[in-house]
A and B are shown apart, each in its own frame.
Chain A
Amino acid sequence: DARVTQTPRHKVTEMGQEVTMRCQPILGHNTVFWYRQTMMQGLELLAYFRNRAPLDDSGMPKDRFSAEMPDATLATLKIQPSEPRDSAVYFCASSQGRMGEKLFFGSGTQLSVL
């Protein structure tokens, strides 16, 4: 059963520490998205990639967040330094990139920054 895999499922860290979240998209999917879920904003798009190239990262705070795809099977989202306001659930999703196509989501990383 193909699915998007995210690690870690939970992360508790102290303010100022670096956080790295990983995502393995579904094999054959060429578009990868990072979303953040908060109570106030719902599901916000942070960044997304097509064929490993970043297409849009305008939703991401550039000074502390970075997203990469080292290869087709791995996407990473880093926060350095982390702040308490970064506490949220971070979701990775993948698709074949066609218009209107549904996205497949991972189970998310629950991040708590103390």
Chain B
Amino acid sequence: DQQVKQNSPSLSVQEGRISILNCDYTNSMFDYFLWYKKYPAEGPTFLISISSIKDKNEDGRFTVFLNKSAKHLSLHIVPSQPGDSAVYFCAASSPFGSQGNLIFGKGTKLSVKP
């Protein structure tokens, strides 16, 4: 059973508008969440993260929101640019026994149209 779920396989957005990518998790012990971006033929690269003690973290055009009670996080990209077109993976980390391991969702493919 998947512990990290990204229920939207794809998302299409117009350039300049907001992109919202969602992620749900089932394990309440997760205490750190990360978003990775992946271009074709490349490895995933770190984008932004958030600790469970926070509900928001911002880095330029990227903001991650965490709702612990709903076990839900989202990544907002404002404004969206064509270069943001990629697959976005949500990942979670648990402090117990994981030793730094990340559990990933299946990814959401974002297409930003000019």
Contact = CB atoms under 8 A, between A and B. Distances in A.
Nearest to B92: A100
Contacts of A104: 46
A105 B49 contact: no
User: Contact residue range for chain B?
Assistant: 20 to 34
Interface in A73-91: 91
Contacts of A55: 99
Contact of B99 (A31, A35, A43): A31
A24 interface: no
Interface string B96-114: 0011111111110000000
Contacts of B32: 99-100
A107 B105 contact: no
B106 A42 contact: yes
Nearest to A49: B99
Given A31-B99, A50-B99, A100-B31, A43 B104 contact: yes
Nearest to B42: A107
Contact of B102 (A50, A103, A106): A103
Contacts of A45: 101-104
A101 B100 contact: yes
B3 to A, nearest CB: 11
15 contacts: A31-B99, A33-B101, A42-B106, A43-B44, A45-B101, A56-B99, A93-B43, A98-B100, A99-B32, A100-B32, A100-B100, A102-B34, A103-B100, A104-B46, A107-B42
Interface of B: 6, 31-32, 34, 36, 41-46, 49, 51, 89, 93, 95, 98-107
